[in-house]
Amino acid sequence: MHDVVDLTKALIAAPSITPARGAVFDVLAAALDPLGFEVERFVAGEAPDGPVENLLAVRKAGPGRHFAFAGHLDVVPPGEGWSSGAFTPEIRGDLLYGRGAVDMKGAIAAFTAALAQVPASGTVSLIITGDEEGPATFGTLALIDRMRERDLIPDLCLVGEPTSSARLGDTIKIGRRGSTVIDVVVVGQQGHVAYPHLADNPVPRLVRALAEIDAIVLDAGNDWFQPSNIEIIDLAVGNPATNVIPGKAAARISIRFNDGHRGDDLVARIAAIVHRHAPDARVDGRVFGEAFLTQPGLLSDTIGDAVAAQLGLRPELSTTGGTSDARFLSRICPVAEFGLVNATMHKLDEAVAIADLHDLTVIYADILKRIMN
């Protein structure tokens, strides 16, 4: 099954709400096996973030570069209101509909179809997880560990995320901002509003801390990244009464930051502000990914050349958008992201243009030829 449309349809037809396991990996493994790949599937982790199924496929065909393609087979829940079944692939007009069509089963199918068109050389690997849309604790990180154990670190890695914006080929991602979420809990003493001297209201202390945090300007951006931003995304007291001073107040803060910062440093900075206003407050920060940048060069130039050859345009190099598993892969080798148009990802009636699937297959095949020769 190396026709890109047929393979995309088969992957969509295997429901794979995150974390994905089972049938969807069967489909991909069956497509890779005839192409000479050694396919290893393994399950990592335990609840609550696991178990997660992962697939590492490797084909060694002599000396040369090790080029990796990374992606995910899990999808977000489809939601209600689809015009047809979310996991029943359907072609209507020029589009193929189904959850995962663009994010990112279509790209995985395109790369697999491209492999069937290019003579084997060097080492090619596919790094495919069933948990990118979820916590991502036991997905690509576990795959990286497995690759290190087998001494299979790539020279270059392409992630097939849907990076294109208005049309296929207009954008390559060469970096991503980092992400951290910080939970703050200020504890006081509950009491009657008429007797404030017998209580300790935590709300004013939390509000003062949040006001100072909200006033922070982290930076003005740089040549490759937009300015970092701090957003207060939740504020909760949970007090239904009209005559009770609450005993606890909580907030959640999200920070998206560029490569001028480190996640742990930002958590420490927020904690210091909170503790000035509320010394006994609890501050818990989780860094979901550090900012990274792959400097323009061989990888982005090769992708750009392949896009130009097929589509006649030169992609923009960008670092915008949310996080992806490239944040993990950037720790082991240069990485860039390039894939389908992202207009319908995570939406009802997610769909990919049939022509884009064919064009992406040609582009991926050209990238392979240029990188491996």
> Cα–Cα distance between 122 and 116 in angstroms, integer?
15
Instruction: Please say whether the beta carbons of 121 and 62 come within 8 A.
Output: yes
| Catalytic status, residue 38 | no
Q: Does 132 participate in catalysis according to the annotation? A: yes
Report d(CA 79, CA 67) in Å as an integer: 36
* Angle between helices 106-115 and 354-372 in degrees, nearest 10: 50
Q: Is 97 left (phi over 0), alpha (psi -120 to 50) or beta?
A: beta
Tokens of 127: 């790094």
User: Which candidate in 103, 131, 132, 366 is catalytic?
Assistant: 132
| Beta carbons within 8 Å of 77's beta carbon, 6+ residues apart | 17
Provide the b/e sequence for 287-318 (b: ≥16 CB within 10 Å): bbbbbbbbeeeebbebbbebbeebbeeebebb
Contacts of residue 197, defined as CB under 8 A and 6 or more positions apart, other chains included, come to none
Would you call 147 helix, strand, or coil by DSSP?
A: helix
As given in the structure block, the two tokens for residue 76 are: 């977000």
CA dist., res. 139 & res. 23, Å (int): 17
Catalytic residue from among 74, 131, 356, 359: 74
Active site residues: 74, 132
